[in-house]
A and B are shown apart, each in its own frame.
Chain A
Amino acid sequence: MAGPQDHFAPGNPEHYDLYVDESFYRFWGLDDPNGNFCYLIYGLPTSQISTLTVSHAELLRTFQNLVVTKLREPAPPELKSGLFRRFPFAERRRLALQMRNILHITNSFVIGEFQEVRGFVLESIRSDVALTGGAELPQNWQELYDERRDQLAKTVREEQPDSRQSCRGCFLSLQLLQQIT
């Protein structure tokens, strides 16, 4: 398999535009362990905006035609994941390859992350166990899970920033940059 595309052209560094979208399902109450949260960043060199604009217009036309012909619905004003998912696979495949080509010719990159409620809560418990020198989640992890889930749900409701967690987030994210470079 070929390695990941080098998204950074040699020469002078450029300005980038980052487009952020997130998607969640039964996440915020933290009641459903299988609820999930996903985010995605699309990174585009600003110098490529005109190329993207032209290519996107073509992609959108194809998309709109498919909505009309395959889904029998009015043409939407924009690309939407919910509609994309409803296309037959052959059409989705064709659109995805067209989109991949756009990302390729514009030297774009993508960053994505996914987590379920269960992992989100357990990650927090693991951090605490590690801080006390433990090497294993305790046998009563389910009790701890329930307690921590309630605490986190309360925190989410109240929007209280947690500086320790923020630092952990910064540190973990550093790996994304430096794992291969």
Chain B
Amino acid sequence: MSRLLSLPTIAATNHLARRALSFSITLDPRGGLEDEHLAAAIRIYTSTVLEKIQREKADKFKSVRYDLRSETVPGLQIADILAGEVRNWFLANAGFLDLNSGTTLVTNDTANNTHQMQITGNVISKPERHTRLPSGLVRKMNRATESSTLAFFRQQLANGLLSCVARWGEYRHIDFERRIIIDSPD
């Protein structure tokens, strides 16, 4: 559970590592020991990611707090509303989970694109599978509906991406700008 709940902060760490001076994390408190365990996991995972990206300068992560009530923190309230909109968007648009999802693994052989990434100064090439979104899904992607207003916030998505695990378990990014889905190798 700690790992799963730590994933978002790992993602944010990656997003900020080369762009921000530093960052702090505030969690919506669940209470007691659970928050302490989660905070400890976040400290470990966040530092690990920073060490990979920054090498010895893993100093950007400043703190994690879980002692603030959401009614006193506007940022937590906005996160609460948007989390609901993300969930309802996926529930209403299952096609993004189903498209090109199946029993075939994403491997070097089935990937159709190469993404280059830089880790600790080295450029690493990684295969990935791109699938162009059909026009029906593009329309759903760009239109706020009764089900979800997420489309209004697409330009606020970090790197224009929304992430999910697809129906058959592929780790997937939905690229709102390029109108493709990006599946990572298994």
Residues of chain A touching chain B, judged by Cβ–Cβ distance below 8 Å, are 1-5, 7-8, 12-23, 25, 28, 36-44, 52-53, 56, 60, 77-82, 84-85, 89, 92-93, 96-97, 99-100, 102-104, 108-116, 118-127, 129-130, 134-137, 141, 156, 159, 161-162, 165-166, 169-170, 172-181
Contacts and interface: CB of A to CB of B under 8 A. Distances in A.
Contact of B26 (A19, A79, A89): A19
A109 B79 contact: no
Interface in B12-35: 12-28
A175 B28 contact: no
B63 to A, nearest CB: 10
Given A12-B21, A109-B15, A178-B118, A100 B49 contact: no
Contact of A111 (B15, B24, B177, B185): B15
Given A18-B25, A120-B165, A166-B45, A39 B78 contact: no
B51 to A, nearest CB: 10
B97 interface: yes
B105 A3 contact: no
Nearest to A139: B103
A56 B74 contact: yes
A181 B71 CA distance: 36
B153 A100 contact: yes
Contact of B71 (A3, A77, A123): A77
Given A19-B78, A126-B169, A161-B2, 10 more contacts: A20-B25, A43-B16, A78-B70, A110-B157, A116-B165, A129-B186, A162-B3, A173-B10, A176-B11, A179-B161
